[in-house]
Amino acid sequence: MNVLITAGGTSEKIDDVRKISNTATGRLGSLLADCFLEDEGVEVTCLCSENAVLPKNPRATIVPVSDVQSLQAAVEEQMRERAYDAVIHSMAVSDYTVKYSVPSEWLAAHLAKSVLNRSWDGNPEFLTAQIHSALLAYGGGCRSKKLSSDIENLFLCLEKTPKIIGLFKKLQPQTILVGFKLLVDVEENELLRAAETLMKRNGCDFVLANDQKNIDETRHEAILLGKDHSLTRLHTKTEIAGAIKDHVMRKAEEDRQK
């Protein structure tokens, strides 16, 4: 059985020494890898971000990734080279990447030249559209390898990154896909609705729904949703890893018997 696991959190460059990242550690991903590798017949490939906790089992194949672009390239390469029975997408993927960075005075000058000197006849909607267009089209941001620390106010324009979870079933429709949904301080019903939406949109077989408020050093409250509407409540990362493995292995066996 071949299992692909993504773990950690991606980061996006601002310049050569600064990045935007998230707080994901990759610890759960490493536990998942070690849990699956307890079975001799399982091979695990881990796409791990920089500084992510790595599996202890030396049989794990580690593929390093950094930003969303490198993650996408690694996913496409891995899934074209071999068939995976299951994909566990536990990585926290950046929702945005840096389109450009610019000191405030540079951006103000650009807007004045592009928009404010034009006749807009008092139409606020027209002016708003022109400002929005100018912001998106701006291409004169800082291009140095290291932004100066003397810049008082730095504007970052962020653009949306592609959703990596949508790739897995497109590349290998038969793989068992486990997605993860993390929200912060919401009602359980809202969390479950968001997890179900993620499942339907991306063809997930299971989704782990969790709330940041229920996660600390020793506790990780989560609910594992199945495509069959099953709910499994879990309380620690170790429990989560074991439950995901059990559900995936059982689903794989059921699929083989069909």
Q: Residue 106's pLDDT is what?
A: 83
Q: Residue 177's pLDDT is what?
A: 98
Residue pLDDT, tens place only, 88-122: 999 999 999 998 888 888 888 877 777 766 666 66
Q: Residue 102's pLDDT is what?
A: 84
* CATH 3.40.50.10300 fits domain 2-95+163-257: yes
What is the full per-residue pLDDT of the chain (258 aa) written as tens digits? Answer: 999 999 999 999 988 889 999 999 999 999 999 999 999 999 999 999 999 999 999 999 999 999 999 999 999 999 999 999 999 999 999 999 998 888 888 888 877 777 766 666 666 777 677 777 777 777 766 666 888 888 888 888 899 999 999 999 999 999 999 999 999 999 999 999 999 999 999 999 999 999 999 999 889 999 999 999 999 999 999 999 999 999 999 999 999 987
Q: In what order do the strands lie in the sheet with 86-89?
A: 61-65, 43-49, 2-7, 86-89, 176-183, 206-215, 220-226, 231-234
Reduced to 3 states, what is the DSSP secondary structure of residue 86? strand
Domain ranges of the chain: 2-95+163-257, 97-160
Do residues 90 and 22 touch, judged by C-beta distance below 8 A?
Answer: no
Q: Any long-range contacts for 66-73 (C-beta under 8 Å, 24+ apart)?
A: 66/10, 66/11, 67/10, 67/11, 67/12, 67/13, 67/94, 67/97, 68/10, 68/12, 68/93, 68/94, 68/97, 68/161, 68/162, 68/164, 69/97, 71/6, 71/10, 71/47, 71/164, 72/162, 72/164, 72/167
Alpha helices in the chain (DSSP H): 27-36, 68-81, 104-111, 124-137, 165-171, 188-202, 237-257
Q: Residue 45's pLDDT is what?
A: 98
| Rounded CA separation 187/46 (Å) | 32
- 31-43: burial string, b at 16+ Cβ within 10 Å, e else: bbbbbbbeeeebb
Q: Residue 118's pLDDT is what?
A: 66
The residues that bridge with 211 in the sheet, in sequence order, are 183
Q: Any long-range contacts for 137-143 (C-beta under 8 Å, 24+ apart)?
A: 138/100, 138/102, 138/107, 138/110, 139/100, 140/102, 140/106, 140/110, 141/100, 141/101, 141/102, 141/106, 142/15, 142/101, 142/102, 142/103
| Rounded CA separation 176/184 (Å) | 27
> For residue 217, which amino acid is it?
E
